[in-house]
Structure 1
């Protein structure tokens, strides 16, 4: 689906360095009619989705928190790519993207343990 979104965005004039989720240039079918992207209608759908998700989870889930989680999970992958995450989030600055990435304490602990074992000659 992301590939389809990229193809459709490029067909509407998007450039490689444009934010991926800027949907304002796209046209959609709504009840059989071609229409421009409607932010208010989409915001209603998004609010409804996150309200329902929050109720099902038993705690508040927000779109912003979802962005943080996405960034963090993508950076945990073995083939992580900070530039890709920056582009997906639509940031201009890597510093902003870094603020979205939370430290995984398990990974931090294992990394420190591994480094200390090297310097202190401890077996891991």
Structure 2
């Protein structure tokens, strides 16, 4: 494996979960797994098993899909409404008898679709 043959590695990859069994060649058994140090070879075994199963770009595609399907909507949902309080155009900065108008912009459900373009004659296409 990477960096030497200190450990014998057995790997199983199921449903995106990588199980790695590491056996020391010297035969010592340590019953307390929390005290065993994870070596660089152990880490590379997990990384290699993941990429053997998923391929090099799968993680990036999965991350993009998660962003499009969930994260973008979560960002919109967590964002506050936008309020615009325009000033009087004729007397900026001064209080007048003009009725205050408030524009409130809020965003709801978002969606993505294929890009569309509208021609000068009004015809649309993708």
Q: TM-score, normalised by structure 2?
A: 0.30
Higher helix share: 1
Q: TM-score, normalised by structure 1?
A: 0.30
Higher strand share: 2
Larger Rg: 2
